[in-house]
Amino acid sequence: MAAPAVSLKNLDRHFLGVERSLTGRAWRERLDGRGSARALAIAQRYGVDELLARIIAGRDVDVDQVDSFLDPTIKRLMPDPYTLTDMEAAATRIADGITRGESIAIFGDYDVDGATASALLSRYLRHCGLDPIIHIPDRIFEGYGPNVDAIRSFAERGVKLLVSVIAESQALSHLPRPKDAVSKQW
């Protein structure tokens, strides 16, 4: 069912007829001709009020994206994780580790993203029947990020897969390659 046509008034002088706001300023039109046309299309297609259509158009929302804008979901707002370098290989390796029942260690951090990522991954792995080892380094004694001693400790405890959930790109740059630091089994 088509929405009735909505007329957007051409108010050359004052937007919505407001000559003076509480601060004494006149309201001026902010949409150009294309923006006004987009607002009209939004109002007609979606049956929304003219003012709402103008706000949406003013935020550069495409006419075809209005539903997503007005009814956002977390899934639609999240970026595609596969745009991260080597994400597919990492996901496949973790899935293989779960399937094989390997011992998995999570190297986290005590900041909010590191603690949250450690908890979420741990919860998922436990749901899959594994009992992951979580390590949050002590910044005073171990420094920041993964370190050789912690990795050796994981190897001694039979860990086959180490997942670092530290978001900073430089967190791993100081480490030698695992096979050089620990043993050939890594």
Q: Please check whether residue 111 lies inside any domain of the structure.
A: yes
Are 164 and 107 in contact, with CB atoms under 8 Å apart?
yes
pLDDT at 182 (0 to 100): 43
How many angstroms separate the most distant Cα atoms in the chain? 77
Residue 4 or residue 126, greater confidence: 126
CA-closest candidate to residue 167, choices 152, 136, 150, 145:
145
Clarify whether residues 27 and 106 are in a common domain: no
Q: What is the pLDDT of residues 1-36, one digit of tens each?
A: 455 554 455 445 677 778 888 898 888 778 888 999
**Residue range(s) defining the domain that contains residue 48:** 15-73
- For residue 90, the number of C-alpha atoms closer than 13 Å in the C-beta half-sphere is 11
Over residues 133-154, the mean pLDDT reads: 85
Q: Is the pLDDT of residue 124 over 90?
A: yes
Q: Is residue 132 part of a domain?
A: yes
Entry pTM: 0.59
- The least confident of 11-15, 29-33, 154-158, 162-166 is 11-15
The least confident of 18-32, 82-96, 117-131 is 18-32
In a domain, 8, yes or no: no
Confidence of residue 179 (pLDDT cuts 50, 70, 90): low
Domain's final residue, options 46, 73, 100 = 73
Task: Give percent above pLDDT 70 in the chain.
Answer: 82
Distance CA 137, CA 110 (A): 8
HSE-CB at 139 with a 13 A cutoff on CA atoms is 6
3-state SS class at 75: helix
Task: Tell me: pLDDT of 168 over 70.
Answer: no
Q: Which of 73, 94, 121 is the last residue of a domain?
A: 73
**Do 85 and 59 share a structural domain?**
no
